[in-house]
Each structure stands twice: as structure tokens, then as C-alpha cells.
Amino acid sequence: ENGIQRPKGHKVSFHYNSHVEDMHFGKTHPMKPWRLTLTKHLVLGHGLQYAMDTYEAVSAGTDEVRKFHAPDYVDFLRQVSPKTFPELCKIPRFTRAIPPKHEGDSVELGPYNLSTSPGADCPVFDGMSEYLFLYTGATLAATHQLTSGACNIAINWSGGLHHAHKAEASGFCYINDIVLAILDMLRVYARVLYIDIDVHHGDGVEEAFQRQPRVMTLSYHRYGPYDETGHKFFPGTGDLEDIGLKGTPGEHFALNVPIPSGIDDRQYKFLFEGVTGRAIEAFNPSAIVLQCGADSLGGDRLGQFNINIKQHGECVAFVKNQHLPLLLLGGGGYTARNVARAWCHETAIATDNKLVDKVPYFVPRIEAFKGRAHGDEKMYPSFERLHKNECKDADLEYMVKKLEHD
Ligand code: ZL4
Ligand code: CA
Ligand code: ZN
């Protein structure tokens, strides 16, 4: 009907759990997990699930997350909620992580850069713990599909949270699912290339592997003064000179492409394909992780680039054309309708499909189902509804309205 087909010659697996959509960082906080609802509806509305194996993600385990993060930090994240936060803050094991207060601080910070103040980048919100371990579980399941050879491209749009540190949340990121994925990949692949097209510098991933020559990190990002206030664009790192920790084997295995605001498609393509192509030639990776942060799109609420969905997608296509095991992750993206359009488009690119202009009205029946990556079989609730042929006008119209008027 809509011409969606399975790709020939490679397999794609898609990892998601709709539960992440229910989360709210706070009333006007720019990170909106419901952008993932829009993405899911667009992907399903176009029928792209027929081109992939779809898996419902399960939560990551404490031990899995401890492969990178500090044990006390992981314990804190497991237990934290707006209710438990004040009590947890008093436990001696966690008080060490409370940063000193500076004059003029607008938000009160608790342990690990977490806070219940409304202005915080990393707020403590209801359901937060479930959310963190779910997006991480989805990334780990995607990684396992790749490393086991079950697929060639694995996708998790709810992951890609590149700022989280070993024992500290930063920039809307609490668990660094990317670092965990790469650590797991290093068991199977000799060299992993990490590419980051989020408008922000992928500092957490770079830092984690700054001594590691088996991981090359390459970030494209806005860099320089934010405005006339003299503040730098977040997180303020990722200078051209920043190439990995000097004097360690990791030196020269980090690359940074700092970019001023307003870069357009032509300029971005030139930079991205030139630098990425040379990096792949020199490093000869065995697998690639691509963080597809959609805040590099023009019109993003936080971003300052001016690239279109077409070019954003061409970055994905360029990396896919290397024909290496590929992990596709989400990241930033603060103008929700564009995030959904970009990631749906990129799901189509990963599966060698072309999308029609309008979301198809009729969604054909699903023939076969895969379950979750581990654990027992379970479908997406929304898939179930498609099965029963209930996902018709109402859902799609609601979605289109959301997309048009957001
Ligand atoms: C907000 O409106 O540059 C947080 C954050 C909360 C709610 C209302 C409070 C109003 C923009 C951002 C006061 C907001 C003050 N609310 C926020 C130095 C900052 C300290 C926090 O895409 N203030 C910090 C982080 C960046 C800073 C970007 C990108 C993540 C990723 C991967 C992270 N932090 C200055 C800002 C708002 C808010 C409005 C905000 N925070 C914009 N940029 C930042 O790379 C997922
Ligand atoms: Ca980046
Ligand atoms: Zn970003």
C-alpha cells in the first residue's frame, strides 16, 4: 500500500519502550520526552515497523550501569524521586557529591548535580528513575543485537545522552547510555568510532574514552560565546585543539569540529563528509555509533545551526554507506515536530525506504512480531492497536495536529 519494504542485504532492529513518553522534566524545561511519542507515531504511521525488527525495551540492570558509572551514583539514581530526594541528600554516602554553593547561584544543587529547583538542567522528577534505566536498557538491547550479529543497524531514538559523567548528571543527561554501549562493543569490535551531530559537544563520551585508542570520538558542535553575555555555548568544551588526553595512548583519538552559529546545509555537508571520511580512513573502525541529536536542525529551541532535515539525514546516509555495524541513537532536539520528522526520516534511510509526503491513511496489518530483545515476548501497546486496526483517523489526525500546531 505505502510501499514500505524490508531492506535488501541488511537488517535493522528498533528498540523502544513507550513508557519513556510519560515523563516530564518540568513545565517549561526544554527536554520533552513526548517528542518520542510523535516520532513513534510518525514511524508507525508510515509503516516503517514492517521494514525492521521491533523490540520493546526493558530496564537496564544496576550492574550494567555500574560498568561506567560510580556505584554510589547508580544507587542514588535507582532510589531518587521528588519524594525521596530530601532524605537521600542527608545520607553521608551521598552528601560528598553535593557541590559547594557559590554566591549568586540561581538553583540549589543537590548530590550529583541533581536538583528539585525549577531552573535546573537536571531536575529530579516523578518517574525519573524508571525513565533513565529504560532509555539505557533500550540502548543496551540495541547494542546486543548488533554485537550478536542479529542486525546490521540498531536504533534507539530515546538514547544518546552524551553529557552524563561517571558520577554526575549534566545537561539533561543522567546515565551515559552511549559510553555503556561502546564499552560493550569493545568486547567484540577492535575499534569503535563515535560520531556526534548533536549541536552540543559530546563531552561525556569524549571524557570517558580520552585515554582509549580503541575509541575515536568525533563531535560536531556549536562552539564559542553564546551571546553578548560572554557565556559560552553549553558545555563550553570541544575546541579544535582538544584531541584526547595528552601523554596517554588516547591522544589523537578525539576529534572536535567547533562551529559558529548559522551553519547551513552546504557548509555542514562539506565539513561532515570531509572530516568524517578522513577519520574513517585513518582510524579504520570496526563499528560506528552515531548520535543523531536533532537540535542541530534550523529552528531548534536551543540550537543555533541552520541545517535542514535533508542534510541531517544525509549524515546518517553517509555513515550507513560505510557498511559497518551501526548504532543509531537520539540525543537533543527541542522543537518536537522537527525532531519527530528527522528521526522518522532517518529510520526510513536506515531501512532503505522513501517516505510519501503524507502519513498514509491506512496502515496494513502486521504479519509477524518479534518480542523484546531479552525476556518474554511483548508487543508495543500501539502495535497491538494497529493489529486490531484501531489506529486510524483519530490517532493520526491527533498526531498531525500536534505536528502542525506545536
Ligand atoms: C532550562 O526554561 O547552559 C531548565 C534549561 C529549566 C524551566 C524554567 C527555569 C528558568 C533552557 C535551559 C531558568 C532556566 C535557567 N527551565 C537554565 C548553564 C545553565 C544553567 C541552567 O542536547 N540555566 C547551563 C544545557 C544548557 C546551561 C544544554 C543539552 C543536552 C543535549 C543532549 C543541554 N545548560 C544556563 C541555563 C527552562 C530552561 C531553559 C537550557 N539549559 C538551555 N541550555 C541549557 O546535548 C540531550
Ligand atoms: Ca555534537
Ligand atoms: Zn544537544
pLDDT tens digits, one per residue of 201-234: 999 999 999 999 999 999 999 999 877 788 899 9
356-368: average pLDDT: 54
CA-nearest residue for atom 42, ligand 1, is 302
The closest residue, in CA terms, to atom 9 on ligand 1 is: 119
Nearest CA to ligand 1 atom 14: 119
**Nearest residue (CA) to ligand 1, atom 19:** 121
Rounded mean pLDDT, 266-281:
96
For range 127-150, the mean pLDDT: 98
Ligand 1 site, residue 200, Cβ cutoff 6 A: yes
User: Would you place residue 104 in the very low, low, confident or very high pLDDT band (cuts 50, 70, 90)?
Assistant: confident
Assess whether the C-beta atom of 196 lies below 6 angstroms from ligand 1: no
Give catalytic status of residue 201 as yes or no. Answer: yes
Whether the per-residue pLDDT at 15 is higher than 80: the answer is yes
Tell me if 135 CB under 6 Å of ligand 1: no
Q: Which of 20, 173, 220, 234 to mutate to test the pocket of ligand 1 (most atoms within 8 A of CB)?
A: 234
Q: What residues are neighbours of ligand 3 (ion), with CB under 5 Å?
A: 198, 200, 293, 295, 332
Given 201, 221, 312, 345, which residue is catalytic? 201
Which helix (H) or strand (E) segment is 290 a member of?
strand 287-291
The label of the residue with cell 555555548 reads 233
Q: How confident is the model at residue 370 (pLDDT cuts 50, 70, 90)?
A: very low
Taking residue 359's Cβ as centre, other Cβ atoms within 10 Å add up to 20
Torsion of CA 222, 238, 195, 313, to 10 degrees: 0
Does the pLDDT value for residue 362 go beyond 70?
no
Q: Is the pLDDT of residue 403 over 50?
A: no
Which domains are assigned to the chain?
A: 14-57+126-362+371-405 (3.40.800.20)
C-beta of 202 in contact with ligand 1 (< 6 A): no
B/e letters for 50-77, b = 16+ CB within 10 Å, e = fewer, are bbbbbbbbbbbeeebbeebbeebbbbbb
Average pLDDT over every residue of 182-211: 98
Query: pLDDT tens-digit profile of 46-102?
Result: 889 999 999 999 999 999 999 999 999 999 999 999 999 999 999 999 999 999 988
Residue 71 beta carbon below 6 angstroms from any ligand 1 atom: no
